[in-house]
């Protein structure tokens, strides 16, 4: 995952540790310092981290037979024991609902 820091934060990082970051820093056409970074993993609370989590979760749920809602892609449904099981999520908070508590426990333990 790549990230570009710009402005004050890029200048501060280069000033604190000039040697490793100097070759990755440049000035934008408006003279704003820019720093290109390659991350080892996603940073929490960034759009990229949320997208990575969404892709992983939606792919996993789809593989387990859930269907994503056409109107809200953070809602997945599956019929289990003749009743609807719904999983909703926002960022990394999930809610699982089903009439049978054992179904919910089974999903969590899986």
pLDDT, tens digit (0-9, with 9 covering 90-100), for 15-43: 887 788 888 887 877 788 888 888 777 67
Q: In whole numbers, what is the pLDDT of the chain averaged over residues? A: 87
Task: Give residue 40's region: left, alpha or beta (phi > 0; psi -120 to 50).
Answer: alpha
Q: Quick one: tokens of 58?
A: 């939606």
Quick count: other Cβ atoms within 10 Å of Cβ 19? Answer: 7
Whether 45 has a pLDDT exceeding 80, the answer reads no
Rounded CA separation 27/19 (Å): 17
Q: Quick one: tokens of 75?
A: 């809602």
Please state the pTM of the whole predicted model: 0.61
Rounded CA separation 75/4 (Å): 32
Three-class SS of residue 51?
Answer: helix
> Do 41 and 2 contact (CB within 8 A), yes or no?
no
* Region 75-93 average pLDDT: 93
Sorting pLDDT into bands at 50, 70 and 90, what band is 9?
confident
């Amino acid at each position: 995952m790549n990230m570009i820091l710009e402005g004050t934060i890029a200048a501060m990082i280069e000033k604190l540790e000039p040697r490793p970051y100097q070759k990755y820093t440049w000035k934008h056409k408006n003279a704003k310092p820019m720093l290109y970074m390659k991350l080892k993993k996603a940073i929490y609370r960034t759009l990229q981290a949320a997208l990575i989590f969404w892709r992983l979760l939606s792919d996993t749920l789809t593989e387990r037979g859930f269907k994503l809602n056409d109107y809200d892609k953070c809602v997945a449904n599956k019929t289990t024991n003749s009743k609807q099981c719904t999983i909703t999520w926002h960022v990394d908070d999930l809610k699982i609902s089903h009439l049978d508590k054992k179904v919910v426990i089974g999903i969590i333990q899986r």
